[in-house]
Amino acid sequence: MPTHPSLPRSLAAGLFLVVAWTACATDAHAIPAFARRYETSCTTCHTAFPRLTPFGEAFRRNAYRFPGGGDATSEKQEPLMLGNEAQKDRYPVAVWPGALPGIVPLSVVADGKVVVGPHPETHGVAPGGHSHASAASGGHGSQSSPDLAGLGGHLMLRTGGTFGDRAAFFGGIDFGGHDGTAVERAALVLTPWDATALQVRVGRFEPALHGVSIHRGLLSHQLRLTTTAGGISAFAPEPSLNGVELSGVALGRLGWAVGAVESASGNISWQKDAYARIEGKLGGMRLDGLHAEATGNAWSERSLSLGASAYRGRTHIESAGRMLHQDNFWRAGLDVHAVFDDFQFDAVAARQSHTQPTAKAAVAGELDLAFAELAWVPAASFIPLLRAEYSRFSAGGTSSTRWVASAALAWVVRPNVVARLQGDVGADADERAGFRNASAGFSIAF
């Protein structure tokens, strides 16, 4: 990377801006829609938001409710009742009663980052090859900046809550992200019996495949595992797809999910992509949060979770706005999540087998993906982590390999303010022999 005499001074200025902003933030609310509802801290459910603690994961699996009916005693905001209980006995002659959140459940999350050095953007996917999309331009490849790249970021509007005992919702709009302004997630969750036994999710959401997500990672929206395309296929499971998903927890420790979603190409038809996932957890808090034993720290336990998933889909291969042919593919993955006191480890391996992922007809291809991350929580405020990701796409006798290794420190400045220092090294075979960069970022929720 070319040297620049003002680089240390520019980097120091960028770090000062980030630290000054985060240090001046008030200790207001946690991820606010839920924190205000229960009048509790973000750290009730997050190690460093958006990364979930075992209790936070149980809260998510309980359709955004405290496990075991805990909302009855924990919810501080009285909901607005729509109707009365007597109407239940007259249903369907009368309308079944419902409830609305006591206040409008809106939250705002601001993300920003200062980057020094050439770097590949890792948020978002667009057609164009075995690449990782650029959030800045919507394309692929590396952004090269020998000096301070500038203070950039985006805003995310989030909403989430419950409608009485049998329904919940979660949604988000991203401003200034990889797609400009876009509805990133918008889903209604129905729980016809028990909140964990069966959930019916309808709308726009991320398919449950690997147990890790760009929406729940310590490095915010950075994750190649679920945002990398194979060839010029448009498919990637995240940020989100439109569809319906059934999921639940059996025996407290066995999780499952099946779903059907629209093709990532955007073509709506009777043919849907389909997927399934199963996972099991040994030790630690149960997936449904019941019968939990008190531990010293919210993030700490001793547990091992194993998961497997499969996805069957299709996309349209296009060039210059013209459809060339249809690509059918399978994706299969295995994952492990282990927690040993203050150490947390995640690993995922996945393979996609395509029938025609390039502009050439009848040329098959394969995309191999691997992800590993080790995080240490020595104290609630500081979380160092190491992450490595690898991908290899092969088709027609040729292949390209890409990898990135990251070392980062997440600093929980306040329950609703997280600052990050990060360094990356890696290689993007098609654009650059190698890259190195350093960055300082932040997330603020209010």
Using the structure block, give the residue that is written with the tokens 């779903």: 259
Is 61 within the bounds of a domain?
Answer: yes
- C-alpha–C-alpha distance, residues 352 and 130, integer Å: 12
| Type of residue at 121 | E
**Among 138, 152, 147, 217, which residue's Cα sits nearest to residue 182?**
138
DSSP class of residue 215 equals G
Q: Are 2 and 146 in contact (CB under 8 A)?
A: yes
Structure tokens at 438: 């350093």
Per-residue pLDDT at 42 = 78
Look up the domain containing 131 and give its range. Answer: 9-81+103-445
The phi and psi torsions of 360 (rounded to 5 degrees) equal -85, 130
Region for residue 65 given its phi and psi (left: phi exceeds 0; alpha: psi -120 to 50; beta: otherwise): beta
Is 96 within the bounds of a domain?
Answer: no
pTM over 0.75: yes
Q: What is the CATH number of the domain that holds 183?
A: 2.40.160.10
- C-alpha–C-alpha distance, residues 419 and 75, integer Å: 29
Report residue 144 CA to chain centroid gap: 26
Is 304 within the bounds of a domain?
Answer: yes
- Give 418: exposed, middle or buried? Use CB within 10 Å, 0-12, 13-18, 19+: buried
- Bridge partners (DSSP) of residue 283 are 303
Using the structure block, give the residue that is written with the tokens 């209980």: 85
- C-alpha–C-alpha distance, residues 56 and 67, integer Å: 10
Is 215 within the bounds of a domain?
Answer: yes
- C-alpha–C-alpha distance, residues 364 and 362, integer Å: 6
Is 98 within the bounds of a domain?
Answer: no
**Among 384, 352, 356, 383, which residue's Cα sits nearest to residue 370?**
352
The phi and psi torsions of 240 (rounded to 5 degrees) equal -170, 160
Residues 6 or more apart in contact with residue 8 via CB below 8 angstroms: none
Q: How many domains does the chain have?
A: 1
List per-residue pLDDT tens for the chain, 446 residues long: 333 333 344 444 443 333 333 333 333 333 577 877 887 887 888 888 888 889 889 999 998 888 877 776 677 777 888 888 888 888 888 888 887 777 888 888 888 888 888 765 543 333 334 443 332 222 233 333 333 344 457 788 989 988 878 899 999 998 876 667 888 899 999 999 888 899 999 999 999 899 999 888 888 778 999 999 998 888 999 989 999 999 999 999 999 999 999 998 876 678 899 999 999 999 999 999 988 776 678 889 999 999 999 999 999 888 777 888 999 999 999 999 999 999 999 999 999 999 999 988 889 999 999 999 999 999 989 999 999 999 999 998 899 899 999 999 999 998 889 999 999 999 876 655 678 889 998 888 88
CB atoms within 10 A of CB 272: 17
- C-alpha–C-alpha distance, residues 348 and 115, integer Å: 27
- Bridge partners (DSSP) of residue 384 are 409
Is 88 within the bounds of a domain?
Answer: no
Residues 6 or more apart in contact with residue 89 via CB below 8 angstroms: none
Report residue 113 CA to chain centroid gap: 18
- Give 116: exposed, middle or buried? Use CB within 10 Å, 0-12, 13-18, 19+: buried
What is the SS3 assignment for 140? strand
First to last CA, the chain: 38
Helix ranges (H only) for 275-364 are none
- Give 27: exposed, middle or buried? Use CB within 10 Å, 0-12, 13-18, 19+: exposed
Is 93 within the bounds of a domain?
Answer: no
Using the structure block, give the residue that is written with the tokens 């490849």: 141
Structure tokens at 80: 């607005």
Is 19 within the bounds of a domain?
Answer: yes
CB atoms within 10 A of CB 14: 21
E strands present in 284-429: 301-319, 322-341, 343-354, 365-376, 382-395, 398-414, 417-428
- C-alpha–C-alpha distance, residues 168 and 37, integer Å: 14
